Each structure stands twice: as structure tokens, then as C-alpha cells.
């Protein structure tokens, strides 16, 4: 398929909870392929959610394997449909950015370990535990599916939001 144009905040789709995927057919495969292509085309991107390419479905992709923070602890390319977090533990504050909010980064507190369940594009169910940077990236993308941005999780916009110096 092809990399899609990333939807930029304040587009309403970014603040709208997504519908669950009901049909595991060629349509969801196309969305997943577009998400992977869009993630790989994005500068430093480790994940993309369907609303970021204008699709209001519960689908996202994550791959932290090429990022210095995730290269030693990851499950590779995750193609997640209808993901849900079953358990969370630990806590850390990390600087997050988002292709849909290209001019800013922010300090966000997230769980350092998550157990999740999702369906693969072929409908198979998968469940596992992610830790560290991969857990953070997964939570960030699932937030998109729930109509939330990292901006919604910043404790103080005065002290926790930063203008991005460059975005390449």
C-alpha cells in the first residue's frame, strides 16, 4: 500500500474513540499495511494508530526495534487490532512526541510494564507482556484509539510541554 498523510491535531478524529474492528478481511489488512508504511515513512516513528491516517478503527502498529531505547527489548513489529491492556505495573516519566503533534514533546508518566491482548490482522488472538520503551509506545498508540493524545496526559502544560527544536 502506501504511506498516508498524518492527521494533525486539532483534527476531531484524534479526539474521538475508535470503533472496534468487526471484520477481519482485506479492508483491515489494507489499513494495517498503510499504518506500517506510514510509520516507516515518519521521522523516528515507532508507532502509528489508525485515526492518525484518518481511519476511525481500533488498529495500530508498533515497532521499537530500530530505536536506541527499544532495540534490546522488543517483540518486533506488532500489528494490533482491537488491543486492550489487561494489566499495568511500574511507573516512569518519559519524553514523548507524536507525528500528529509535530511541534511539541512532553513529559508523560506511563506504566513500565503492560500485559495486553489484541487480535492480529488475520483474527488470531495474541497476549503478552511488554516492558520499558515498548510498553510506553504501546500505551501511546492505544491512547490514540481511545481519543487521547499525549497532551492529555501531561501533568502541567507549563512545565511538561516543550517546543520541538527540529522534526526530521
Catalytic residues: 141
Beta strands 92-98 and 78-89, pairing class: unpaired
Angstrom distance (rounded) from CA 73 to CA 77: 12
- The strand pairing partners of 84, in sequence order, are 117
The answer to whether 16 touches 64, Cβ cutoff 8 Å, is no
In the beta sheet, which residues pair with residue 115? 87, 129
Amino acid at each position: 500500500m502506501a504511506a498516508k498523510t498524518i492527521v494533525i491535531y486539532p483534527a476531531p478524529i484524534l479526539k474521538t474513540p475508535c470503533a472496534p474492528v468487526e471484520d477481519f478481511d482485506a479492508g483491515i489488512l489494507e489499513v494495517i499495511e498503510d499504518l506500517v508504511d506510514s510509520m516507516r515513512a515518519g521521522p523516528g516513528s515507532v508507532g502509528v494508530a489508525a485515526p492518525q491516517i484518518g481511519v476511525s478503527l481500533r488498529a495500530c502498529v508498533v515497532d521499537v526495534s530500530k530505536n536506541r531505547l527499544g532495540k534490546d527489548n522488543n517483540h518486533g513489529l506488532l500489528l494490533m487490532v482491537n488491543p486492550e491492556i489487561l494489566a499495568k505495573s511500574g511507573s516512569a516519566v518519559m519524553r514523548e512526541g507524536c507525528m500528529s503533534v509535530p511541534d511539541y514533546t512532553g513529559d508523560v508518566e506511563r506504566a513500565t510494564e503492560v500485559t495486553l491482548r489484541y487480535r492480529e490482522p488475520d483474527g488470531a488472538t495474541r497476549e503478552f507482556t511488554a516492558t520499558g520503551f515498548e510498553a510506553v509506545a504501546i500505551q501511546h498508540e492505544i491512547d490514540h484509539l481511545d481519543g487521547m493524545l499525549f497532551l492529555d496526559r501531561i501533568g502541567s502544560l507549563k512545565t511538561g510541554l516543550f517546543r520541538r527544536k527540529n522534526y526530521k
